[in-house]
Homo-oligomer: A and B are copies of this chain.
Amino acid sequence: MDLQTALLAVDETMQQVVASSVDVLRKASRHILSAGGKRARPRLAFLSYQAVGGTDLSVMVPIAAALEIVHTATLVHDDINDHGTLRRGRPTVNAIWGRTFALLTGDYLFAKVYELMAPQGDLNTVFAEATVKLVEGETMQAQAAKDGTLDQKLYFEIVAHKTAALFAAATKLGALRGGGPEAQVQALADYGFNVGMAFQIIDDILDLLADSEQLGKTAGVDVAQGKGIAVAAQGRDGNNGVGVATLEAADGKGADRKGDKHQDPLLALRRDMLQGGAVERGQKLAHQFVTRALDHLKALPHSAAVAELRTWRGR
Contact = CB atoms under 8 A, between A and B. Distances in A.
Contacts of A23: 143
Q: Which 10 A-B pairs have the closest CB atoms?
A: A118-B124, A115-B128, A114-B128, A111-B131, A118-B128, A118-B125, A111-B132, A81-B100, A104-B139, A108-B135
Number of copies: 2
B103 A25 contact: no
A107 B128 CA distance: 12
Interface residues of A, number: 42
A108 B134 CA distance: 9
B121 A108 contact: no
B132 A108 contact: yes
Interface string A124-141: 110111011011101110
A22 B143 contact: yes
A143 B27 CA distance: 13
Given A22-B143, A135-B25, A103 B125 contact: no
Contacts of A77: 103-104, 107
Contact of A142 (B100, B112, B131, B134): B100
A67 to B, nearest CB: 14
Contacts of A119: 124-125
Interface of A: 20-25, 74, 77, 80-81, 99-101, 103-104, 106-108, 110-112, 114-115, 117-119, 121, 124-125, 127-129, 131-132, 134-136, 138-140, 142-143
A159 to B, nearest CB: 15
B81 A139 contact: no
A175 to B, nearest CB: 18
Contacts of A129: 115
A111 B74 CA distance: 12
Contacts of A131: 111, 114-115
Contacts of A101: 139, 142-143
Contacts of A117: 124, 128
A236 to B, nearest CB: 18
A20 B131 CA distance: 13
Contacts of A99: 81
A104 B22 contact: no
Given A124-B124, A143-B24, A134 B111 contact: yes
Please indicate which of the listed interface residues A111, A128, A136, A143 has the most CB atoms of chain B within 10 Å of its own CB. A111
A69 B127 CA distance: 19
19 contacts: A21-B136, A22-B136, A22-B140, A24-B143, A81-B100, A100-B142, A101-B143, A104-B135, A104-B139, A104-B142, A108-B132, A108-B136, A110-B110, A111-B135, A112-B132, A114-B127, A114-B131, A115-B125, A117-B128
